[in-house]
Amino acid sequence: MRFDSRPSACQTGRVSNVFYAPGKPRAAKVNDLFAAIARRYDLLNDLQSFGLHRRWKRRVAALAAAAPGARALDLCCGTGDIAFALARRGAETTGLDFSEKMLEVAAKRNRTPDPGRQTPNPNFIQGDAQQIPFPDNSFDIVTVGYGLRNLASWERGLDEMFRVARPGARLVVLDFGKPPNALWRGIYFTHLKISVPLIGWLFCGNARAYAYILESLKHYPAQLAVAEKMRGLKLANVRVINLLGGAMAINYGEKPAGNF
């Protein structure tokens, strides 16, 4: 469903997952999804998380130790929240996303800088997180927020994050998680199944795009597997920070010094 005249999912009583497809077609479907919701994306994030996503994104920037002199890359940057959080801490920041529409919103925010702030704006570029257009060992910080889950291969995404990170760089991943407690997981998945698409329909006219969150999460092994993969890449100080009982999670690791 998009901003068009077709009946909404709620009107038809059918909430399907037209935006999810395994394998190669995944990228095109995900691109369609974000093109459809880009204008309302920030508002919906605030409504769904009661504004908490802002705090989690600031935490990502703090964990990444963003500071003047650091070079940071934020993958799947969307409308730029994490890129702006990194830049506000003084890092020289690039935000990368493949969605033209999401990048248009980010660029608009760039043109209206926070009053009183002297920090430079991020540089936003269009590109594929699975084939990052930068050489090996380019960045001190590589972040991704709510992005890995959307890739055809989240492992490939992490491999690429590792490749472009310099020895000593911080890799930080924020995404929906899978709560370890079965009762809480059930409540939370019900929220993703019912309330989130309802909010999507009410405020964005698009229930299916928001039903996609649960579908994509079902196919994403979440925080524990990301930590396992980070250990497999031999990252140091690998940590999982569960938020809201694991409903959200931050994965952290550092690329070790060595010959890369």
**Would you tell me which residues interact with ligand SAM (CB under 6 A)?**
27, 30, 34, 76-78, 81-82, 97-99, 102, 128-130, 145-147, 150-151
Please return the burial class of 117, using the count of CB atoms within 10 Å of its CB with bins 0-12, 13-18 and 19+. Answer: exposed
Is the Cβ of residue 78 or residue 197 nearer to ligand SAM in the bound state? 78
Is the Cβ of residue 181 or residue 249 nearer to ligand SAM in the bound state? 249
Query: What does the DSSP assignment read for 49-107?
Result: HTTHHHHHHHHHHHHTT--TT-EEEEET-TT-HHHHHHHHTT-EEEEEES-HHHHHHHH
Instruction: Kindly state the smallest distance separating residue 87's Cβ from ligand SAM, in Å.
Output: 14
Is the Cβ of residue 34 or residue 124 nearer to ligand SAM in the bound state? 34
Instruction: Kindly state the smallest distance separating residue 28's Cβ from ligand SAM, in Å.
Output: 10
Is the Cβ of residue 92 or residue 97 nearer to ligand SAM in the bound state? 97
Could you count the other beta carbons within 10 Å of the beta carbon of residue 12?
Answer: 12
Instruction: Kindly state the smallest distance separating residue 100's Cβ from ligand SAM, in Å.
Output: 9
- Structure tokens given for 48: 């769904």
Give the whole-angstrom CA distance, residue 85 versus residue 110.
12
Instruction: Kindly state the smallest distance separating residue 166's Cβ from ligand SAM, in Å.
Output: 21
Instruction: Kindly state the smallest distance separating residue 158's Cβ from ligand SAM, in Å.
Output: 13
Is the Cβ of residue 30 or residue 196 nearer to ligand SAM in the bound state? 30
Is the Cβ–Cβ distance between 60 and 172 less than 8 Å?
Answer: yes
